[in-house]
Amino acid sequence: MEFEELGIREECGVFGCLAAGQWPTELDVPHVITLGLVGLQHRGQESAGIVTSDGESAHFKVHKGMGLVNHVFSEDSLKKLYVSNLGIGHTRYSTSGVSVLDNCQPFVVETLHGKIAVAHNGELTNAVRLRRKLMRHGVGLSTSSDSELITQLLAFTPPLEEDDTPDWVARIKNLMNETPTSYSLLMMHKDIIYAVRDPYGNRPLCIGRLVPVGDINGKGKNNAETEGWVVSSESCSFLSIGAEYYREVMPGEIVKISRYDVQTLDIVPRPKGDPTAFCIFEYVYFARPDSIFEGQMVYSVRRRCGQQLAIEAPVEADLVSTVPESATPAALGYAQKCGLPYIEVLCKNRYVGRTFIQPNMRLRQLGVAKKFGVLSDNFRGKRVVLIDDSIVRGNTISPIIKLLRESGAKEVHIRVASPPIKFPCYMGINIPTKEELIANRPEFKDLAGYIGADSVVYLSVEGLVSSVQESIKARQDQENNLKISKFKSGKIGHCTACLVGEYPVELEW
């Protein structure tokens, strides 16, 4: 819960759609993208944008705005995006770059071979050097966003490219050689969408297949007509638009999506045989629980984290509960492993604004009290194990513990379904400064006393990694099924830099 209260967020989400078969299509591409972005709204709430095309003319249709997706895209604004056969969209929360309309994505630029549109999720670890390099080449930059750097790098002509034949694979590989991480991106050019994931696979990206409504959920899965293709930061947005999960874009993969098929164009390997570095906090908090990463559902991983937490930190208690709602799967796993009943102790008021926007500590704490009702009959006189997904600064959980005690809880034991965050992230996550993190402060030595709990235990780093990697074979099987000899991603790993301070690549300043 404290991730939510502090505004610790992903930078953004990307979504693309391309109609299959004959064009002009009857598929409502702008509405499909809009609904896809609604499904990714948890990844960014500052701004949203969509760029569409008929795939034949040189004209791109663009609409962007500040705010939530449903506020930015009304029926009138969507009319600007017709008639369209393909398009890409973006919803943003800024970690680098100012929160202004100029930084809204997708970005559109004119190249030697026509316009391209680019949408990006992540944060470049060598952005400062890349900005200087572009400026030395006479490229002017109009925004403070990393995504504009990517767009301009894609507009560069590779040395071996012929003037009259665009080699987009070479351009994309040139970008990937310039910057190792972190990015999942979509690029639209004429009648093609290119889906690209950095070689470390730090940010997620997956592909879905649009099928007739009657064929969703596996009915006639192999023989169903393909009405179109979608690509998204998370698969959670697929069901609402009538798409079935197809597969992930693998680390380092360059995928070409056309009206005819989905094709792997190339794989860019990691230097020195490094393991992959998918952000482990996608599993802990950022992703929706119904999303699929590496062949496994996020909900299942969170439940396993709770089970592992019960092994590492059992406690004599009467019931297990959670701070609604992101830690619920972990709480259910903890209760199951301990053999204790799972009982709700808090009722969330969904119509109270997020407390991290409150201007001072007192109002933030009052905001937490306003946000929850107490189901006191469920725990009065009992020992409660309260599962949370995080304790980052320690300010948010304290008033909840106080609320439970005043309402009759005999004991309140806090169990945290993720390890303590100790280091900043430089790859697309907004994390408080190192000094703000409770794990780096003197209060951490007696955290239970500081927040008013009877005990506090975090999940270990090893426990989190084992919970995530328990079913990772599904990802390896998927690679084998692609039958591309150079596709093997090598050793599968996860980025735990914010927990242990070891970053997957050397950081540049």
pLDDT tops 70 at residue 30? yes
In a domain, 286, yes or no: no
The mean pLDDT of the chain is 87
Range of the domain at 241: 13-274
Report the pLDDT averaged over residues 265-271: 92
pLDDT tops 50 at residue 358? no
Q: Do the annotations mark residue 305 as ligand-binding?
A: no
Q: Which residues are catalytic?
A: 12
In a domain, 408, yes or no: yes
Residue ending a domain, among 257, 274, 291, is 274
Residue 360: the pLDDT is 59
- Same structural domain, 212 and 351: no
- Same structural domain, 198 and 326: no
Top pLDDT among 471 and 136 is at 136
Give the C-alpha separation, 199 to 403, whole Å: 47
The residues near 382 (Cβ < 8 Å, ≥ 6 apart) are 317, 318, 319, 409, 410
Top pLDDT among 428 and 17 is at 17
pLDDT tops 70 at residue 366? no
Q: How many domains does the chain have?
A: 2
Q: What is the CATH number of the domain that holds 192?
A: 3.60.20.10
Q: Do the annotations mark residue 74 as ligand-binding?
A: no
In a domain, 73, yes or no: yes
Distance of CA 7 to the CA centre of its chain: 14
- Same structural domain, 312 and 421: yes
pLDDT tops 90 at residue 164? no
In a domain, 473, yes or no: no
- In terms of average pLDDT, the best of 386-395, 426-435, 457-466 is 457-466
Q: Is the CB of residue 101 less than 8 Å from the CB of residue 47?
A: yes
What is the residue-wise DSSP string for 201-250? --S--EEEEE--GGGGGGTTTTTS---EEEEES-GGGSGGGTEEEEEEPP
pLDDT tops 70 at residue 477? no
Confidence at 133, pLDDT banded by 50, 70, 90: confident
Residue 354: the pLDDT is 44
Q: Do the annotations mark residue 233 as ligand-binding?
A: no
In a domain, 48, yes or no: yes
- Same structural domain, 269 and 367: no
Q: Do the annotations mark residue 57 as ligand-binding?
A: no
- Same structural domain, 343 and 200: no
- Same structural domain, 265 and 171: yes
Q: What is the CATH number of the domain that holds 451?
A: 3.40.50.2020
Q: How far is CA 469 from CA 275, 305, 410, 462, 498, in A?
A: 13, 11, 37, 10, 18
* SS3 call for 486: helix
Residue 359: the pLDDT is 47
Residue 506: the pLDDT is 87
- Same structural domain, 62 and 148: yes
Residue ending a domain, among 429, 447, 462, is 462
The residues near 485 (Cβ < 8 Å, ≥ 6 apart) are none
Top pLDDT among 84 and 103 is at 84
pLDDT tops 80 at residue 432? no
Confidence at 368, pLDDT banded by 50, 70, 90: low
- Same structural domain, 25 and 161: yes
Q: Do the annotations mark residue 206 as ligand-binding?
A: no
Q: Do the annotations mark residue 279 as ligand-binding?
A: yes
Residue 105: the pLDDT is 92
Report the pLDDT averaged over residues 14-31: 96
Top pLDDT among 220 and 304 is at 304
Residue 76: the pLDDT is 92
Give the C-alpha separation, 309 to 423, whole Å: 22
In a domain, 482, yes or no: no
In a domain, 492, yes or no: no
Nearest to 456 by CA among 383, 388, 372, 363: 388
- Same structural domain, 107 and 251: yes
In a domain, 132, yes or no: yes
Q: Is the CB of residue 320 less than 8 Å from the CB of residue 330?
A: no
276-313: pLDDT as tens digits: 999 999 999 889 999 999 999 999 999 999 999 999 99
Q: Do the annotations mark residue 495 as ligand-binding?
A: yes
- Same structural domain, 64 and 186: yes
Of 18-27, 300-309, 377-386, 498-507, the poorest mean pLDDT is in 498-507
- Same structural domain, 267 and 306: no
Residue 411: the pLDDT is 98
- Same structural domain, 66 and 200: yes
Quick one: how many helices (H) and strands (E) in the chain? 16, 23
